[in-house]
Amino acid sequence: MDFRELATRRVSVRGYRPDPVPDELLEEILDIARMAPSAANRQPWGIVVVRDEARRRALLEAYAREWMVSAPVVLVVCVEPAAAWVRLEDGWNAAETDAAILTTHLLLAAAERGLGTCWIAAFSPSRLKEVLGLPGHVVPVAMTPLGWPADAGRPKQRKALAGILHRERW
């Protein structure tokens, strides 16, 4: 699959078959994700892998959608802002951008292997921190179920290139 096809085929999956995701496949996807770039190569991230059914169901306290836990794995991408690069002029912290790139790599690596994912940000951060026992300085940025898709997802809807492009200046 070339990159255009992969980027086009990846869709948010909101329904999963119960079939297990083999450990080796999960490890491979996580290993690819860690190749993501980060500002000043700080890699301020961590990934929580949730396989245990009771803990997966506990995640519903943070994001109450059954489809999320229909997948056999849920991944939570976190960052430590204190470990991330900070831009000098305005103090901008790259942590969440770094986490977003890692998550994107993860989603695409999964899609390349036929696995479904769905980026989730609409969770309760306080409840998620509690369920996963995250220390105070660790920020959850994204969660995603990981599993075999039960449906094809929604059709892609994107703005036309001409609608987002600004040539030479905005």
Ligand X SMILES: Cc1cc2nc3c(=O)[nH]c(=O)nc-3n(C[C@H](O)[C@H](O)[C@H](O)COP(=O)(O)O)c2cc1C
Q: Smallest distance from the beta carbon of 24 to ligand X, in angstroms?
A: 26
Which CB sits closer to ligand X, 91 or 155? 155
- Shortest-Cβ-distance residue relative to ligand X: 122
Residue with token string 């690069």: 85
For the beta sheet containing 73-79, the strands, ordered from the edge strand earlier in sequence to the opposite edge, are: 45-50, 73-79, 139-147, 116-117
- Give 87 or 156: the residue with its C-beta nearer to ligand X: 156
Residues that bind ligand X (CB under 6 A): 11-12, 118-122, 153-154, 156
Nearer to ligand X, 119 or 148 (CB): 119
Element of type H or E holding 48: strand 45-50
Residue with tokens 């929604």: 154
- Name the residue nearer to ligand X (CB basis): 4 or 167: 4
Can you read off the two tokens belonging to residue 42? 């700080």
CA distances (Å), origin 143, targets 17, 47, 68, 127, 158: 18, 9, 9, 13, 23
CB of 66 to ligand X, least distance (A): 12
CB of 132 vs ligand X, minimal distance in Å: 17
- Closest-CA residue to 72 (of 133, 26, 28): 26
Distance in Å, CB of 167 to ligand X, minimum:
26
